[in-house]
Structure 1
Amino acid sequence: MDFASTEEQKEIFGIVFEFANDALQLHGGCGYLADYGVEKLVRDLRVHQILEGSNEIMHLCVSR
């Protein structure tokens, strides 16, 4: 794996997931409804984070 892309990917996913999670919190209970699209964004980001590897695994890749 390329060092820069792994570190950048880890950082970007963290920022985007935090943003999406904040949006979900701002919408309150309605954020979980499919009508608003926020739940899909959070769900898709979380699945993508899992498929790409946990933060701990990505940290190990970067440290090598």
Structure 2
Amino acid sequence: MDFSLTDEQKMIQQTVRRFVDRELMPLESELLQSEGKYPTGVEPGLYQTLQMKAKEMGFWGI
């Protein structure tokens, strides 16, 4: 049985990795410092920005 990813799955994987690397990883220290301050763990304006970017890329609700 072949468990390797399809080309489409590989493309999704690469896209998600790029999103995480570009949008989330740079915020790591800020998020760790504000941990517990907000219900979502993120300042509301930043949360909305990230949410919109994720929606634009089709990630929201996956």
Larger Cα-atom Rg: 2
Task: Indicate the structure whose relative CO is greater, using CA pairs within 8 Å and at least 6 residues apart.
Answer: 1
Compare the two structures and name the one with the higher helix fraction.
1
TM-score range, shorter chain: 0.3 to 0.5
Q: Could you tell me the TM-score, scaled by structure 2's length?
A: 0.39
The normalised TM-score by structure 1 is: 0.38
